[in-house]
Amino acid sequence: MFSDSYTEDMVKATRGMAYFYKLAGLALVIVFGIFIMLFYHVGFGSIIFFGGIFLFAYIFSQRELEYEYIITNGDFEIAAIYAKTKRKELMHFGMDQVSIIAPVKSLRLDGENVMSTAYYASRKNAENEYAFIVNVNQKKIKVILELSEKSMNQVKTHAKHKFTLE
């Protein structure tokens, strides 16, 4: 009988500055809506004001963010969990799509020409962060994950020739 290897990690993420810029921008939209209501047109200002309130409440409700990594037989599924209520799958890839696995600060990653970077880590513990260079639709994407020791052992089992510590 075959046995599947399975690990699951949860990482509580720290919000970046883009999140706070969105909140500040929406606060300005709300203030702008108040000024429009007072000095120009009540109906148009109300639409701007309540639209800003709605969007601000929606963005603010997603302030808690956790990343979930599920590794099954070397296949990764990465999901975001917002406010412990909504789960959204962000990425799914297999080890056959990965070309390099290295610590984030590795010199080996400097020569890689990547199209974009997907940062799915807590931003607190850089020594546990690993970069996966993933080929998706003929484009290289650097995926940064913060894996536990158990998950790293599973990754090393399924892709030991792709793993480097340099």
pLDDT in tens, 23-61: 899 999 999 999 998 888 888 889 999 999 999 988 888
For residues 85 and 1, give the distance between their C-alpha atoms in angstroms, rounded to a whole number.
37
Q: Which is it for strands 75-82 and 65-72: parallel, antiparallel or unpaired?
A: antiparallel
Please compute the mean of the pLDDT values over residues 100-119 and round it to a whole number.
80
Q: What pLDDT score does 1 carry? A: 44
* CA atoms of 16 and 70, how far apart (whole Å): 24
**Region for 138 from its dihedrals, namely left if φ exceeds 0, alpha if ψ lies in -120 to 50, beta otherwise:** left
Q: How many CA atoms lie within 13 A of 165 on its CB side?
A: 5
Return the residue matching tokens 């959204």: 88
112-132 average pLDDT score: 79
Rounded to an integer, the average pLDDT of 88-93 is: 88
Give the predicted TM-score (pTM) of the model.
Answer: 0.76
Give the DSSP H/E element, type plus range, for residue 18. helix 17-39
Sequence ranges of the domains in the chain: 17-61, 64-158
Average pLDDT, the chain: 83
- Mean pLDDT, range 55-69, rounded to an integer: 86
